[in-house]
Amino acid sequence: MKLSDITFVKRIAVGGADGRVTTQDVQETMAMLNRCLHELPRGKVIAVEQTPCIHMDANGSHVFQLVSYHVGFARKPAWLDDDE
């Protein structure tokens, strides 16, 4: 697939900058990413954003990261709802 063939882009964000993301949230998001990359019509990762965040509290500092994948499709998949 060429970049000029892409007519729809789905942004999938994994993780979070606030530290309130559960393992189940990450697993569900990764399942959506895998579905976008393996089911027909297959998408292709066209960009990746990485947003780090450092949170300081009484226990020290914690580093969180939000990784956003931009998956391009030649057409919007029928199985992809508008509310996702």
Question: Is a pLDDT exceeding 60 seen at residue 11?
Answer: yes
Q: Is 13 inside any structural domain?
A: yes
List, as own/partner pairs, every contact residues 28-34 make where C-beta atoms lie below 8 angstroms and the sequence separation is at least 24, other chains included: 32/84, 33/69, 33/71
H helix intervals, 1-84:
23-38
The strands making up 44-57's β-sheet, listed across from edge to edge, are 8-15, 60-73, 44-57
Q: Is 79 inside any structural domain?
A: no
Q: Is 58 inside any structural domain?
A: yes
Q: Which domain holds residue 33?
A: 3-73
CATH number for the domain harbouring residue 36: 3.30.110
Domain count for the chain? 1
Q: What type of residue sits at position 82?
A: D
Q: Is 30 inside any structural domain?
A: yes
pTM of the predicted model over 0.85: no
Q: Are the C-beta atoms of 50 and 65 separated by less than 8 Å?
A: yes
| Tens-digit pLDDT profile for residues 35-81 | 999 999 999 999 999 988 887 888 888 888 889 999 999 999 999 87
